[in-house]
Amino acid sequence: CHTHSAKAGQGMNVSMQDGWNLAWKLGYVLEGLSPESLLETYSDERQVTAKNLIDFDREWSTLMAKKPEEFDSPSELEDFYVQTAEFPAGFMTQYTDSMLTGGAEHQDLASGFPIGKRFKSVMTTRVADAVDVHLGHHHRADGRYRVYAFADRDGTRLDAWAEWMLSSPESPVQRFTPLGADIDSVFDVKAVYQQEHHGVDISRVPKLFLPLSGPFQLIDYEKIYAAKPGEDIFDIRGVSRDGAVIVVRPDQYVAHILPLDAREELADFFAR
């Protein structure tokens, strides 16, 4: 529990993230997907955020209480607000290396998706119906991990990665999806291609991205995206043209970034 003033309106964003952080972890433990030790990460992660919030609030409240003549410069209050704008918006939190957050060895593969921080969405085009959508807006609060597979230039490395994910007993999908459950019940795996949507032949896309789901086992076509001309997600978020795998936690924080050929590392990360 943490208490602070109402100034800057940061309380709702922080408290909702507290709740979401705990909720998905409780779900994983209760469903038998993770050991109880997962719950210890709630305090490890959110206590740091709570302290940062109280420290931020103390500094902000002090500034708000100052008289105009007490400021070192006319822009002091404005400068502080701009420098810390991510905090009240809920985007400044950054989790460090842990059982849930990978190291930064491959951060350069997607510099615009900082590991440990909230996944910042960008417009893309959904290939199946040519509708422009924010990639992150399809990240529903359903407890699943999102694995965004950004394709290499010709898609050959992506194809090989997708075949491993779908077929290898060592892949997270095969290892951790409950028997009899939909193939995307734990990991919602999406493909993002460098070409605009006309350049993606959906009939040649790996089956991993066209899973059968639901009681009638219908094909889910909403997992294949293309770069939107003029707002190329690869350029905007600094994603490597050689491709990259971006793992996003159920609470929308970036958990890891890996090359498409780092299969053992991906398996080891989820094995934690």
User: What residues contact 140, with CB distance under 8 A and at least 6 apart?
Assistant: none
Mean pLDDT score, 227-241: 97
Report pTM. Answer: 0.92
253: amino acid identity, one letter? Y
Mean pLDDT score, 260-268: 97
SS3 content of the chain, % helix, strand, coil (to 5): 40, 15, 40
In this predicted model, what pLDDT tens digit does every residue of 142-160 receive, in sequence order? Answer: 999 999 999 999 999 999 9
* SS3 (DSSP) at 64: helix
Which stretches of the chain are assigned E, i.e. beta strand?
Answer: 123-126, 131-134, 145-150, 187-193, 212-213, 218-219, 224-227, 244-248, 254-258
Question: Which residue has 């609060």 as its token pair?
Answer: 141
* Mean of the per-residue pLDDT values of the chain: 93
In this predicted model, what pLDDT tens digit does every residue of 4-31 receive, in sequence order? Answer: 667 666 777 788 899 999 999 999 999 9
**Would you say residue 83 has pLDDT above 90?**
no
* 222, 205 Cβ separation under 8 angstroms: no
Question: Which residue has 């789901």 as its token pair?
Answer: 213
**Tokens of residue 8, six digits:** 């800057």
In this predicted model, what pLDDT tens digit does every residue of 107-131 receive, in sequence order? Answer: 999 999 999 999 999 999 999 999 9
Phi-psi region of 44 (alpha: psi -120 to 50; beta: other; left: phi over 0): alpha
pLDDT of amino acid 59: 87
**Would you say residue 175 has pLDDT above 90?**
yes
**Would you say residue 1 has pLDDT above 70?**
no
**Tokens of residue 18, six digits:** 């507290």
**Would you say residue 237 has pLDDT above 80?**
yes
**Can you tell me the distance from the alpha carbon of 269 to that of 271, in angstroms, rounded to the nearest whole number?**
5
Range in 58-62, 151-155, 231-235, 240-244 the model is least confident about: 58-62
In this predicted model, what pLDDT tens digit does every residue of 32-41 receive, in sequence order? Answer: 999 999 999 9
**Long-range contacts formed by 178-186: CB under 8 A, 24+ apart:** 182/211, 182/212, 182/213, 182/214, 183/208, 183/211, 183/212, 183/213, 184/144, 184/211, 184/213, 184/220, 184/223, 185/144, 186/33, 186/144, 186/145
pLDDT: which is higher, 74 or 245 = 245
pLDDT of amino acid 194: 98
Range in 52-56, 149-153, 193-197 the model is least confident about: 52-56
pLDDT of amino acid 206: 97
